[in-house]
């Protein structure tokens, strides 16, 4: 172990020296790490640890009869993974997922990769066949270390029981520190059954990782770096902050808002950073990117100083890196990960460090030198862009428009509800038409774009925030992926609100097929499918399960749905031809943005279209 026992015996863990099974050691460390919920599905290879959960909860049951570490059992392991992810995203804490070996473990590959792609901290505890059986193709054996090593931040296969305690502690350290991510612990059944002495302290030696992390922690902004930054800001007339998910992951929202407010710098956020800037603030540009606001993308086109904070210039934002922010004379980049600096687009000022601290220090330096700069002309330009190029749609249509549904929910929730989504058109409509006053209110699968994310993520978020309104905005295609979790919501009495925008098909795929494949709906038209979503929800215990198919009923039904006191399900039959606009084709610049029929375009887009081989 890399850390020594406390010298002062009063600081020792009260259970230090106690003889425990490996499974009991795992659960005791979860308690020490302030884990409040485990999401998991049982099976033979993880039974000792599931039994340890039962015994721990039975022994430490609270006065109100509740378990200190409740176990939420899903319909399947993928659902459990997304519940843990939703819990982590909504709370900022490490989510915990516990599954058995073989298929139990392999069913978590998608949520683990999803968490890695979006920098979400979870710890995954997998059962494994006994050490002596590893590599023999034993019943329900899978090469978890080989599989997960490619998709997780780190993977531990424990073959030495004396290292179990230190390994579990280290897993939590790795998951939450630096750039957060998923860490997998593969624990053979005989290691879980082993008995040994609980030390109550210690972690594994990780000299390389801790050295790199310490270098980032110690890399403070120098006065020289601050001076160069403020020189760029002084020379700028149109500065713009481009905020990414790192702002939320780094708990740097307040620091970024204070800095932006101090100098009146407009803020555009990525899909993953919605809520980092209060979307109702006059200087908020909401979301930029492939389906970002037209006015946000035009502001990026116009800015002369781009300040990237916790953002990585990914392809959904900088589709054509060479033409992204073409008028920016200077680009500054803040990040915690040195690998992101200049990876996609060259920058001429950067700092790798702790975002919250660095932004506070940067503002303090500006106040110390009494920096002042007037950006009122830019503010007027921003206001003009927002007024002229705002979102819009066919408000006279006889069909229910998905945008109108979200606008009505947003009017009632005022940007204060937790919103989760699946992936597809409904995801983008939700990102565009909802307001987000604070961080951690928006939960979506960004980089991986995983259908089926929304419902289980909402369950995890509701567990983490029992007193908040949690709404899953889903699509008829996406919700099918994990629709079994409807029963999980009612089983645990979670008052989530689930809304399915039903356009009888995979809307985003169909939109692309219309644009680039001459309308050939190969595999995306589900108009012949027979799913009765309302009956499904009723069968899974939803007392409120309603279909909305008349436009005139929309306001009343939406209010009834939102105000229902328990789990509520609403299917809305929407216009199947509704599209997601604006849209920037893959590999294209914002100058070639398509705004559709109802959003005012600055210029007619060029005729360039991505070929059918391009990604979504």
Distances in whole angstroms, Cα of residue 239 to Cα of each of 272, 331, 379: 21, 10, 10
Residue 10 has pLDDT above 70, yes or no: no
Cβ-in-10-Å burial (0-12, 13-18, 19+) of 58 comes to exposed
Alpha carbons 358 and 360: distance in angstroms, whole number: 5
Sign of CA dihedral 154, 85, 446, 443: negative
* Active-site hit among 3, 54, 139, 380: 139
* Active-site hit among 93, 189, 497, 592: 189
The position carrying tokens 């003009």 is 384
Taking alpha carbons only, the member of 448, 434, 68 closest to residue 287 is 434
pLDDT score for 107: 98
* Active-site hit among 140, 345, 373, 504: 140
* Active-site hit among 20, 50, 77, 511: 77
Residue 615 has pLDDT above 80, yes or no: no
Q: Are strands 470-475 and 497-502 parallel, antiparallel or unpaired?
A: parallel
508 annotated active-site? yes
Render pLDDT for 585-602 as a digit per residue (tens, 0 to 9). 889 999 999 999 999 998
**CATH 3.40.50.970 domain extents, the chain:** 9-215, 402-573
Q: Are strands 154-157 and 95-99 parallel, antiparallel or unpaired?
A: unpaired
Beta carbons of 455 and 487 less than 8 angstroms apart: no
Residue 5 has pLDDT above 70, yes or no: no
- DSSP run (H or E) holding 155: strand 154-157
**CATH 3.40.50.1220 domain extents, the chain:** 219-388
**Domain 402-573 in this protein, CATH class:** alpha beta
Chain-wide mean pLDDT for the chain?
95
DSSP H helices in 177-265: 189-193, 207-218, 223-235, 245-249, 253-263
Residue 413 has pLDDT above 90, yes or no: yes
Phi first, then psi, for residue 350 (nearest 5°) are: -150, 160
Alpha carbons 104 and 90: distance in angstroms, whole number: 25
Alpha carbons 409 and 399: distance in angstroms, whole number: 18
Beta carbons of 288 and 268 less than 8 angstroms apart: yes
Q: What is the third-level CATH fold of 9-215?
A: Rossmann fold (3.40.50)
Q: Which string of DSSP letters, residue by residue, matches 228-248?
A: HHHHHHHH-SSEEEEE-HHHH
Beta carbons of 310 and 273 less than 8 angstroms apart: yes
Beta carbons of 402 and 421 less than 8 angstroms apart: no
Mean pLDDT of all residues in 353-368: 98
Taking the model in full, what pTM does it have?
0.95
Which residues lie across from 473 on neighbouring strands? 421, 499
3 state DSSP class of 387: helix
Residue 6 has pLDDT above 90, yes or no: no
Q: The domain at 219-388 falls in which architecture?
A: 3-Layer(aba) Sandwich (3.40)
77 annotated active-site? yes
What dihedral angle (degrees, nearest 10) is formed by the CA atoms of 449, 452, 457, 463? -170
* Active-site hit among 98, 256, 481, 508: 508
pLDDT score for 512: 85
The position carrying tokens 């490490």 is 94
Mean pLDDT of all residues in 242-261: 97
pLDDT score for 608: 53
Beta carbons of 59 and 435 less than 8 angstroms apart: no
189 annotated active-site? yes
Q: Look up residue 459 and give its two tokens.
A: 């369950």
């Amino acid at each position: 172990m890399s850390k020594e026992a406390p010298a002062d015996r009063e600081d020792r863990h009260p259970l230090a020296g106690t003889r425990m099974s490996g499974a009991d050691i795992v659960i005791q460390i979860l308690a020490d790490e302030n884990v409040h919920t485990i999401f998991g599905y049982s099976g033979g290879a993880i039974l000792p640890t599931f039994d340890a959960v039962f015994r721990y909860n039975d022994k430490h049951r609270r006065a109100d009869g509740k378990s200190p570490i409740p176990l939420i059992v899903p319909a399947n392991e993928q659902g459990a993974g997304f519940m843990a992810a939703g819990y982590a995203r909504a709370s900022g804490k490490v989510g915990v997922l516990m599954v058995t070996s073989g298929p139990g473990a392999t069913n978590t590959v998608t949520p683990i990769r999803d968490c890695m792609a979006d920098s979400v901290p979870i710890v995954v505890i997998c059962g494994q066949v006994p050490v002596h059986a590893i590599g023999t193709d034993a019943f329900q054996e899978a090469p978890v270390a080989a599989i997960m090593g490619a998709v997780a931040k780190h993977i531990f296969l424990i073959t030495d029981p004396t290292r179990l305690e230190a390994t579990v502690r280290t897993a939590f350290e790795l998951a939450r520190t630096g750039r957060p991510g998923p860490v997998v612990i593969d624990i053979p059944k005989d290691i879980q059954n082993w008995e040994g002495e609980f030390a109550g302290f210690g972690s594994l030696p990780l000299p390389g990782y801790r050295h790199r992390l310490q270098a980032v922690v110690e890399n403070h902004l120098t006065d020289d770096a601050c001076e160069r930054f403020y020189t760029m800001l002084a020379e700028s007339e149109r500065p713009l902050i481009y905020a990414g998910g790192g702002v939320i992951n780094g708990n740097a929202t307040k620091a970024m808002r204070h800095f932006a407010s101090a100098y009146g710098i407009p803020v555009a956020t990525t899909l993953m950073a919605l809520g980092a800037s209060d979307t109702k603030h006059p200087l908020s540009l909401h979301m930029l990117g492939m389906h970002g606001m037209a006015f946000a993308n035009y502001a990026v086109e116009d800015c002369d100083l781009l300040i990237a904070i916790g953002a990585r210039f990914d392809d959904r934002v900088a589709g054509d890196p060479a033409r992204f922010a073409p008028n920016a004379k200077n680009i500054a980049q803040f990040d915690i990960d040195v690998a992101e600096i200049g990876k996609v687009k060259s920058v001429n000022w950067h700092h790798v460090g702790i975002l919250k601290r660095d932004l506070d220090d940067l503002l303090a330096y500006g106040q110390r030198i009494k920096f002042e700069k007037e950006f009122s002309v830019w503010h007027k330009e921003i206001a003009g862009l927002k007024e002229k190029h705002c979102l819009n749609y066919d408000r006279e249509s006889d069909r229910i428009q998905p945008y109108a549904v979200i606008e009505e929910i947003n009017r009632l929730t005022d940007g204060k509800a937790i919103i989760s989504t699946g992936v597809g058109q409904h995801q983008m409509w939700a990102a565009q038409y909802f307001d987000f006053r604070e961080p951690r209110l928006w939960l979506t699968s960004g980089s991986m774009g995983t259908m089926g994310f929304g419902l289980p993520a909402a369950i995890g978020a509701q567990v983490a925030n029992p007193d908040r309104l949690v709404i899953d905005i889903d699509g008829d295609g996406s919700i099918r992926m994990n629709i079994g979790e409807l029963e999980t919501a009612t089983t645990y009495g979670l008052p989530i609100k689930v809304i399915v925008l039903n356009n009888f098909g995979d809307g985003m795929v169909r939109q692309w097929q219309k644009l680039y494949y001459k309308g050939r709906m190969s595999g995306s038209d589900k108009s012949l499918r027979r799913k009765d979503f309302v009956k499904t929800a009723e069968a899974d215990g939803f007392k409120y399960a309603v279909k909305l198919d008349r436009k005139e009923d929309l306001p009343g039904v939406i209010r009834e749905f939102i105000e229902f006191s328990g789990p509520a399900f609403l299917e809305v039959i929407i216009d199947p031809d509704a599209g997601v606009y604006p849209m920037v084709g893959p590999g294209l610049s914002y100058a070639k943005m398509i705004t559709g029929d109802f959003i005012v375009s600055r210029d007619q887009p060029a005729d360039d279209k991505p070929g059918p081989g391009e990604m979504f």
